[in-house]
Amino acid sequence: MTQKQNKTGIALAICGLFFFAIGFALGINGFLTPVLKGALDITPVVANLLIAFNFVPFLLFGYPATVCISKIGYKATMAVSFALFAIAFGLFIPAAKNESLAFFLTACFISGAANAVLQACVNPYITILGPLESAAKRTSIMGICNKLAWPTTTVFMTLVIGKSIDQIQMGDLFLPFYIIIGIFVLLGIIALLAPLPEVKAAGEDEDDAAACPYAEGKTSIMQFPHLLLGCLTLFFYVGVETISLATVADYATSLKSAGVVLGASAELLGYIPSVGMVIGYICGIVFIPKYLSQDKAMRICAWIALVGSVLVAVLPGEYSIYCILLMALGCSLMWPALWPLAMADLGKFTKQGSALLTMAMAGGAVMPLVRAWVEGFTGSFQMSYWVCVPCFLVILLYGSSWYKIRK
């Protein structure tokens, strides 16, 4: 192994840790939603504001994050994000003490801002850390770290508290959040001290513009239709991925309340989408780019997710919940394929493109609220999964033709 390969391997391992942290932080939403619905007696739409307040900051902080990266570099910006995370988790403690929804939403908003800043760092970093044609493979490795973390949050919280999720009260939340604050402060220190090389995409420097001929003559980021369509697609993707990952425990609780007998606890069922995601990511590591191109992987996954979402919506509840695995399996390689396809040929506009894609993650705020509204309107949690179908159709279109559009 060459010295360069060794450095790249170390950088990947550290980024994997940071991707796990992103998933763990987002997993707090899935944990808190059923807890707050029980403790504060709030509606599904209001409970899903927790998720919305985590993703709205992506729209607001995507561009400032890339400016920060340009000024102080990737490592220091990552450290800033972990400091914001620690502040956010600190606010969850008075939120629980006062049983204040406003406090919880404020904490979620700051956590979302931290997530936006960190994602603006790690996603383009992984894409340009090596050859673009194998970017989906690297992102798949990161995806395993990220998606295993989502349900780990609920398992961690219930183990520390010593109660099942349907028994947890506000006063039980203090200790786990104190521990989480300490962990994220440590991650900030690691970000500052870690041997992460500063990287740039081909043609990103003005004096290296010829390395990316397509971008050389462009004067605005708006002149890249494949990127703009990629942002639209990512908006819907993050929305349906969030629904797939964050609603399982709540769906299981609603099924049990309706008398449906399930084969496991809500905490364990929370691993269903993560299992699907990890299976997909492993396939990505094995097959991309040697056997599958990034765009073909995206098309295959869109079809799988379409079938899965329909099955979730129409099958009996005791079977329906397990079909979320198919939705998650489909989602798995969409992100690893979409990001490099949308970032291709941006050259000197790479950081601006990354900012737009980061802002598009605000779909994670919108689509879960749409799902919750449908649940309230129809009176059925299961019927609300129909909102995923048109989103997956948009993703299929991007993987089929939209990513090729140039002008």
* pLDDT exceeds 70 at position 394: yes
Supply the mean pLDDT for the chain.
Answer: 85
Helix (H, G, I), strand (E, B) or coil at 79: helix
* pLDDT exceeds 60 at position 210: no
Query: Tell me: the pLDDT tens digits for 373-384?
Result: 899 889 889 999
* pLDDT exceeds 90 at position 35: no
Q: What is the 8-class DSSP label of residue 285?
A: H
Residue 206 is predicted with a pLDDT of: 54
* pLDDT exceeds 90 at position 52: no
**Looking at residues 87-93, what average pLDDT do you find?**
94
Q: What is the 8-class DSSP label of residue 222?
A: G
* pLDDT exceeds 90 at position 149: no
Q: Is the alpha carbon torsion for 160, 165, 169, 173 positive or negative?
A: positive
The top-scoring range by mean pLDDT among 80-89, 124-133, 150-159, 319-328 is 80-89
Residue 46 vs residue 190, higher pLDDT? 190
Query: Tell me: the pLDDT tens digits for 114-138?
Result: 999 998 888 878 877 777 677 777 8
* pLDDT exceeds 80 at position 191: yes
Residue 201 is predicted with a pLDDT of: 52
Q: What is the 8-class DSSP label of residue 210?
A: G
And the tokens for 404? 């090729």
Whether the CB-CB separation of 249 and 30 falls below 8 Å is answered with yes
CATH of domain 3-404: 1.20.1250.20
Q: Provide the whole-model pTM.
A: 0.77
Query: Tell me: the pLDDT tens digits for 282-315?
Result: 888 888 777 888 788 889 999 999 999 999 999 9
Residue 109 is predicted with a pLDDT of: 94
And the tokens for 212? 């990316």
